[in-house]
Chain A
Amino acid sequence: MKFTDAVEFSLASLRKRRLRTLLTVSGVMIGIGALVSMISFGKGMQKNVTEAFKASDLFTTLMVMPGGPDVPLRDPDRPGRTVSSGGRRDAVLDDAAVAEIARIPGVRLAYPDVNFPAMVSLGEKEEFRLVQVVPAAIAASGALKLGWGKSYASDDEEGVVVSQSLLRRLGKGEPAAAVGQNLRITSVSIDLGKLAAIDLASLFSGQGFPVAMENYDFPIVGVTEITAFGGGPSPVQNEVLIPPGPARRIKRLPMTSIWDLFRMRDGRLGYSTVSIKLESLRDLERVKSRVGDMGYTTFALADQFEQVTKGFYFMDMVLAAVGMIAIIVAALGIVNTMVMSILERFREIGIMKAVGAGDGDIKRIFFFESGAIGLLGGAAGCVLGWAVSLVINRVVNFYMARQGMPHIEYFAFPFWIFLGAMGFSLLVSLVSGIYPARRAARVDPVVALRHD
């Protein structure tokens, strides 16, 4: 039997049983549609995160931490976020160390990662935030996405950059209007006057703590946009950024958290983190080993990105597994339809065998029939998956926009998704056709033609 004849026979049979063909194809369509939208969602998320990482220059950022035991990276409440110790216990990240690191070839910029807790206020409302000291060179790089105003031009400029979300919390819905206004930063420092007359008993009971608060006002020069996929140990992840010059004027505690005190050596505290901006990604390994030789622990986001990629791989698998359930149901639908078709066409199969159809011919007719269901369902499923994703994307973005989140394409449709879905659908339908095709080929013509 010729290929074209087999196709013609199969299509004729599908046409004859229109409703059932439609229902079976719908089953495949839903399965493939689910799979397509699931995978495109996974790919969309991956694409968004990858692009956010790339846009923010994070790949060329290397973080340096002092040696010693594992310390909580930032947040002691999340013990998972630690960096393994590799360096020497006595390697303190002081200004000399920063200068030495900055001289390593391939390092464009090295700056201490300085944070301090403060209360920030704008008019009536106030919020607690970590204020981050960021050099002008970094603030002006791709790491910051400024929506309004601009970044401070030099390390000594009097000005701060704040995030849009902070402004929102402070009751300023319109970021453009906030540029030029003064942000008040209230810091905590040790009150040396009180320290002299310290009363230990009242100190340890929490009264008469030797601290003082001071207010500093800085004009807001720029506002960062809310980005959907920030996160991660970024060089700039705080909501208030201040250049190093004015930061030096602010009286504050020399640490971010109490954990920093455990790293103290001979009264030398040093910085908890130094960020390195590399000339290019190619310098990463060399700079890493040089810094490691100096006794410090390093942490590169580029390394962690591999973990992220693995995570996405896992996410794809989970999404595909969910989609597979629908595919399995669809495959059972095909088997059911084909078996029904054999029962209905029992006599016709007998006739074909009587006039000389071989087992292979009969198999081929039924195989092509289920294959056609798969191709039709696959094509319809691609359209369905794409359409559903489009609708979900619009609805989600509509609600996200109300939350002040930017527009995001949650789904990505690389060309191979459609090709793969069609191929997979065809494969599933052919596998589903194996049993019915063999059963049809085994029909005994004598039984099928017995006049009844």
Chain B
Amino acid sequence: MNASPIIQARSLAKTYLIGNVRVAALEDVSLSVDEGRFVAVTGASGSGKSTLLNLLGGLDTPSAGTIEVAGALVSAMDRDALAKYRRFGAGMIFQSFNLVPSRTALENVELPLVFSDVDKKERRRRAAELLDRVGLAHRAGHRPPELSGGEQQRVAVARALVNDPRLLLADEPTGNLDSQTSREIVGLLAELNRSRRLTVVMVSHEESLVREYAQEVVRLRDGRVVGTESWA
């Protein structure tokens, strides 16, 4: 490999306090992802996949260990720096799409730019461009309830990329989609990975999609890494 790692996670741990019981979601997880790779994270439900992705995306903070993304120590950031990191450093998409239902597809894509103080005209232009890129230019004025699952996820992808991050984190992006649409979405991620040299980390338990589109896989069980495999 000629690329340097964009993600360096060392000895990550995350424990939650549920009532009086400490529950370890992640224990001693170390991970390195090179720039421009498409990495899948698999494991049974409750294995800590989503927790890991939330930590990488700056939505949550680790109980122990460090995370470095593109040279910045994410695990040491304060709330404001984390917000900025989520805005510019890493785009995220989710199983349940997480679009704002009252806003149109275009306005949803614009949302991260609103918090980046980009003026309205420029926002519109960039959002329209990305909607076109994911093939949804004709649905720009529709609100999420009027869109199919696949269309909603495409809007979410456009939104995740509107601030041009180098990293895209996808948390079970196909969990709510039929198999045909799932292929289309993961295919879109793979295509973006190739054309933009976008690093993609995707949580999934659909082995066939992982095999077909990803380049390596990290397997989790009970909050620990139990194996890694690379084939491309």
Binding site for B on A (CB under 8 A): 1-2, 5, 9, 12, 16, 347-348, 350-361, 445-446, 449, 451
Give min CB distance, B203 to chain A, whole Å.
13
CA distance A445 to B96 in the complex (A): 14
Whether the Cβ atoms of B98 and A353 lie closer than 8 Å is no
CA distance A36 to B60 in the complex (A): 49
Whether the Cβ atoms of A356 and B59 lie closer than 8 Å is no
CA distance A303 to B179 in the complex (A): 93
Whether the Cβ atoms of B94 and A356 lie closer than 8 Å is no
Whether the Cβ atoms of B79 and A359 lie closer than 8 Å is yes
Whether the Cβ atoms of A355 and B115 lie closer than 8 Å is yes
- List chain A residues, Cβ under 8 A from B83: 353, 356-359, 361
CA distance A445 to B94 in the complex (A): 13
**Beyond A355-B92, A358-B79: 19 further Cβ-contacts under 8 Å?**
A1-B115, A1-B117, A2-B114, A2-B119, A9-B114, A12-B102, A16-B102, A348-B100, A354-B59, A354-B86, A354-B98, A355-B86, A355-B160, A356-B116, A357-B83, A358-B84, A446-B60, A451-B94, A451-B96
Chain B residue with the shortest CB-CB distance to A6:
B114
For the complex of A and B, the 4 pairs showing the least CB-CB separation, nearest first, are: A356-B87, A358-B83, A355-B112, A451-B96
Chain A residue with the shortest CB-CB distance to B101:
A348
- List chain B residues, Cβ under 8 A from A350: 98
Whether the Cβ atoms of A357 and B54 lie closer than 8 Å is no
Give min CB distance, B3 to chain A, whole Å.
26
Give min CB distance, A332 to chain B, whole Å.
27
Whether the Cβ atoms of A451 and B95 lie closer than 8 Å is yes
Give min CB distance, B49 to chain A, whole Å.
13
CA distance A451 to B57 in the complex (A): 17
Given A358-B79, A446-B60, A449-B94, is A352 in contact with B102 using a C-beta cutoff of 8 Å? no
CA distance A353 to B57 in the complex (A): 11
CA distance A449 to B156 in the complex (A): 14
Say yes or no for B38: interface residue by CB 8 A criterion: no
Whether the Cβ atoms of B96 and A355 lie closer than 8 Å is no
Task: Return the CB mask of B22-48 against A: 1 if under 8 Å, else 0.
Answer: 000000000000000000000000000
Whether the Cβ atoms of A358 and B115 lie closer than 8 Å is yes
Give min CB distance, B202 to chain A, whole Å.
16
Task: Return the CB mask of B156-194 against A: 1 if under 8 Å, else 0.
Answer: 000110010000000000000000000000000000000
Can you sample 24 A-B contacts with CB below 8 Å? Answer: A1-B117, A12-B102, A347-B98, A350-B98, A351-B98, A351-B111, A352-B111, A354-B92, A355-B115, A355-B159, A355-B160, A356-B86, A356-B87, A356-B112, A356-B116, A356-B163, A357-B83, A357-B115, A358-B80, A358-B84, A445-B59, A449-B59, A449-B96, A451-B94
- List chain A residues, Cβ under 8 A from B59: 353-354, 445-446, 449
CA distance A244 to B171 in the complex (A): 105
Give min CB distance, A176 to chain B, whole Å.
73
Chain B residue with the shortest CB-CB distance to A1:
B115
- List chain A residues, Cβ under 8 A from B159: 355
Task: Return the CB mask of B81-125 against A: 1 if under 8 Å, else 0.
Answer: 001101110001011101110100000000110111101000000
Chain A residue with the shortest CB-CB distance to B86:
A356
CA distance A356 to B57 in the complex (A): 10
- List chain A residues, Cβ under 8 A from B163: 356
Chain A residue with the shortest CB-CB distance to B163:
A356
- List chain A residues, Cβ under 8 A from B92: 354-355
CA distance A354 to B92 in the complex (A): 8
Whether the Cβ atoms of A361 and B115 lie closer than 8 Å is yes
Task: Return the CB mask of B60-71 against A: 1 if under 8 Å, else 0.
Answer: 100000000000
Give min CB distance, B35 to chain A, whole Å.
21
From residue 201 to 219 of chain B, which have CB atoms closer than 8 A to chain A? none
Report which residue of A347, A352, A354 has the largest number of chain B beta carbons within 10 angstroms of its beta carbon: A354
CA distance A9 to B98 in the complex (A): 18
Whether the Cβ atoms of A355 and B95 lie closer than 8 Å is no
- List chain B residues, Cβ under 8 A from A347: 98
Whether the Cβ atoms of A352 and B54 lie closer than 8 Å is no
CA distance A449 to B169 in the complex (A): 15
- List chain B residues, Cβ under 8 A from A5: 114
- List chain B residues, Cβ under 8 A from A355: 86-87, 92, 111-112, 115, 159-160
Report which residue of A352, A354, A355, A451 has the largest number of chain B beta carbons within 10 angstroms of its beta carbon: A355
CA distance A347 to B96 in the complex (A): 11
Chain B residue with the shortest CB-CB distance to A360:
B80
- List chain A residues, Cβ under 8 A from B99: 351
- List chain A residues, Cβ under 8 A from B86: 353-356
Give min CB distance, A257 to chain B, whole Å.
81
CA distance A9 to B100 in the complex (A): 12
Give min CB distance, B215 to chain A, whole Å.
26
Give min CB distance, B128 to chain A, whole Å.
18
Give min CB distance, A368 to chain B, whole Å.
13
CA distance A360 to B84 in the complex (A): 12
CA distance A451 to B88 in the complex (A): 24
Whether the Cβ atoms of A356 and B115 lie closer than 8 Å is yes
Whether the Cβ atoms of A2 and B117 lie closer than 8 Å is yes
CA distance A301 to B87 in the complex (A): 72
Give min CB distance, B19 to chain A, whole Å.
16
CA distance A446 to B56 in the complex (A): 13
CA distance A1 to B112 in the complex (A): 10
CA distance A5 to B124 in the complex (A): 13
Chain A residue with the shortest CB-CB distance to B99:
A351
Chain B residue with the shortest CB-CB distance to A451:
B96
Give min CB distance, A440 to chain B, whole Å.
14
Chain B residue with the shortest CB-CB distance to A348:
B100
- List chain A residues, Cβ under 8 A from B98: 347, 350-351, 354, 449
Chain B residue with the shortest CB-CB distance to A359:
B79
Give min CB distance, A360 to chain B, whole Å.
8
CA distance A356 to B159 in the complex (A): 11
Give min CB distance, B44 to chain A, whole Å.
17
Report which residue of B95, B100, B159, B160 has the largest number of chain A beta carbons within 10 angstroms of its beta carbon: B100
- List chain A residues, Cβ under 8 A from B112: 355-356
CA distance A353 to B100 in the complex (A): 12
Give min CB distance, B73 to chain A, whole Å.
18
